[in-house]
Chain A
Amino acid sequence: MAATDHAYMRDAPAQLLPAPVASTGVLGWVRANLLSSPVNFALTVICIAAIVWVVPALLRFFIFDAVWSGADREACLPSAQRPEPGACWAFVRVWGSYFVYGFYPVSERWRVDLFFALLAFGIAWLAWLGAPRRDLGAIYFFIVLPILSYILLSGVPMIGLPDVPTSLWGGILVTIVVATVGIVASLPLGILLALGRRSAMPAVRLASITFIEFVRGVPLITVLFMASVMLPLFVPDPFAPDKLVRALIGVALFASAYMAEVVRGGLLSIPRGQYEAAQALGLSYWRMMILVILPQALRVTLPNIVNTFIGLFKDTTLVFIVGIFDFLRTIEAARGDPHWATPVTSVTGYAFAAVFYFVCCYGMSRYSRNVEARLARAQRR
């Protein structure tokens, strides 16, 4: 077909034009995301003003004007060269080993370090979903590690490890011990309680429901009070457990009730057909649960389990209130040291504690989000 003889008709397609500058690139992004309407514009201005107001002040306080070294409070007090001293990191450096070990004897601290290393190894084995022999990892984490840790930390004089009473333990060591015991005890207990709650036996069901709802209905503080005040009453005098063990029992019971509900959520998500198929194969109740149902249920609910661990990790700070020297309590104790009494000591101590807890909890929550994304991908197929 020849070219048309109408002047207003094209005989070739028009050249493609690039998108307007104002809607692409950085400018387009800014317009779409920050300045799309008068309200949006006002919000952007307010946010920028807030950032300009807060961020430099924070940086100045925690980094540029901070005191990084010194032997006592003199370094962190306002002086001629430093009229407004920032955070007193020197205080954290001097008290650092106390924050990690408490009063654990200096000569025995390698045992704590070894415990941290063994624990890190176990966590890595279980958390890395592609690790080899994760079943062995579970045995290591839930059976071998607790025994080893007990021997290491508490000491067995027979094999040359002197006893270290728990009253000397402190700081991050205690926080990690409480959290780990909570995790190691709450998962199996929680699974048992969840199964009990869905059991066909009325007495088992009733007992599980009562326990779970009771514990979830009261604050952890009261459970800890109960463990620390009432537990010694309930056992004959010679068997009265020591203070740390009492708190550990309280935390473990508390965490297992929450874990039970999380596991129950996972169990509910398994289709009925899976149970029926397992029964049709002639599997007994426990074989069905261990081989068919639980592996699927736990995988689905892994992100929620990790979220429960995050809550548990934050809740370990509450043992502070029943007089146990966890990390937060060591910060409180050091904060009151008259050698370091300055206007910025408290803020520095709390900031250090906040960074520690934030790094641990945020790390766990990133992990749980990764697992969630991975599960979602697997679901899509």
Chain B
Amino acid sequence: MSKMLQFSIRSKQQWTNIALQAALVVVVGGLIYAAAVNAANNLAKAGIASGFRFWDNTAGFDISQTLIPYSSSTSTFGRAFWVGLLNTLLVASLGIVLATALGFTIGIARLSRNWLVSHLAGGYVELVRNVPLLLQILFWYNAVLKSLPDLRGSIAIPGGAFLNNRGLFLPQPLFGANFGYIAGVFAFGIVATLALRIWGRRRQERTGEPPRTLYYAFGLIILLPLAVFFGAGAPLSFSFPEVARFNIRGGTEILPEFAALLVALTIYTAAFIAEVVRAGILAVAPGQTEAAQALGMRSGSTLRLVVVPQAMRVIVPPLTSQYLNLTKNSSLAVAIGYPDLVQVFAGSVLNITGQAVEVIAVTMAVYLFLSLVTSLLMNLYGRRVAIAER
């Protein structure tokens, strides 16, 4: 009897669940179907094509910064997509490097025993975190970079660079014929140093002798390529920018849009990274430091061998999500006209083709792809550094 009752109750619950889920599927499916039908109707009414045939059509608009060859008259929309994507990746990767450096500095400064240093760092974090990023981007672009002197009053920076409201003009390196060898030697130096490091660590585990990779690394990565460079007759020259009547000739240009976006992203994300770093270091129990000191380790070794490895385990996951945030935030470029993926593709291409559904879907798919790949890598990392429980 009781068994039967239990059975009937459970199955009633199960039937309710199945009915609920079926209802959900029907509602969501119905909404999607209705949206698709409406979209098809509305698009047909507006005379807008659908599908990805536009991908191979000539774009016909200019892009102010292109990392790969691109011309408005011959390049396709597909090419414009790659130009925008590369610009996004450029600003995001530079931003990640700079924000990490600044963020770690500020985060460690917040924990300084020096009252002034820790409070200045705290003030930085509070100020930057509580002001919207878009406002900061507009500030750097409109109030700082755009109010620099114009072409006539270009500020000459020692080393042959110029700064004015059109951007920063740097000497452009011109690589000679043999420059490839030097790059090759440099790459070899890095690989050799990594190999040396692995070998040194194995030897330390065997014999206890600490490795001295640093000197070899300096020789391999810096001295050796330099020697080859001068041996090959210094195959490198610079094209220096010159202020002409209406523009700046020669050299290479860094757009003010790029600079403003990079500065704002770096400063904003660094404040969040600083908090992540601080929390990570505080998460290492003080007993760990004390135990290391009791073993006679110096403060440098304590930090390097005991505190940092444990702190990294706490720091890396939120740090990655900050990197993702930075990448997603780089889409604010559209506000100041830096040609990133959103500005080029979801802006210009969308306006010209009118194919909102396809364009937005592709744009979202790119960011989604980046997010998913990052979280996949993060899970792998998390599994690697997880504390081996007994």
Contacts and interface: CB of A to CB of B under 8 A. Distances in A.
A358 B328 CA distance: 23
A219 B25 contact: no
Interface residues of B, number: 54
Given A200-B17, A201-B17, A230-B360, A218 B132 contact: no
Interface string B97-125: 00000000000000011111100100000
Given A43-B116, A222-B363, A361 B134 contact: no
A358 B127 contact: yes
Contact of A226 (B127, B146, B360): B360
B143 A222 contact: no
A227 B83 CA distance: 25
Interface stretch (A13-21, A92-100, A345-353): A345-353
Interface stretch (A32-40, A104-112, A133-141): A32-40
A200 to B, nearest CB: 7
Pick the 3 closest A-B CB pairs, nearest first: A217-B371, A203-B21, A361-B130
B135 A207 contact: no
Given A217-B372, A218-B328, A362-B130, A353 B135 contact: yes
A219 B147 contact: no
A245 interface: no
A255 interface: no
A315 B132 contact: yes
Contact of B332 (A44, A48, A214, A318): A318
A151 B195 CA distance: 71
A54 B39 CA distance: 56
B314 interface: no
A233 B367 contact: no
A222 B364 contact: yes
Contacts of B39: 230, 233-234
Interface of B: 17, 20-22, 24-25, 28, 34-35, 38-39, 41-43, 112-117, 120, 126-127, 129-135, 138-139, 142-143, 146-147, 328-329, 331-332, 334-335, 342, 346, 350, 356-357, 360, 363-364, 367-368, 371-372
Contacts of B113: 32-33, 36, 40
Interface string A291-325: 00000000000000000001000110110110000
B26 to A, nearest CB: 11
A364 B113 CA distance: 28
Contacts of A320: 134, 335
A166 interface: no
A350 B28 contact: no
Q: Which range holds the interface residue count of chain A? A: 35 or more
B132 A204 contact: no
B131 A357 contact: yes
Contacts of A346: 142-143, 146-147
Contacts of B142: 335, 346, 350
19 contacts: A33-B115, A44-B116, A44-B117, A47-B116, A207-B24, A218-B368, A220-B328, A222-B367, A225-B360, A232-B42, A235-B38, A314-B130, A317-B134, A320-B134, A328-B134, A328-B138, A335-B142, A350-B143, A358-B131
B360 A43 contact: no
B123 to A, nearest CB: 10
Contacts of A219: 328-329, 331, 342, 367
A343 B147 contact: yes
B142 to A, nearest CB: 5
Given A332-B138, A350-B135, A44 B114 contact: yes
Contacts of A36: 113-114
B30 to A, nearest CB: 13
B17 A217 contact: no
A365 interface: yes
B21 A317 contact: no
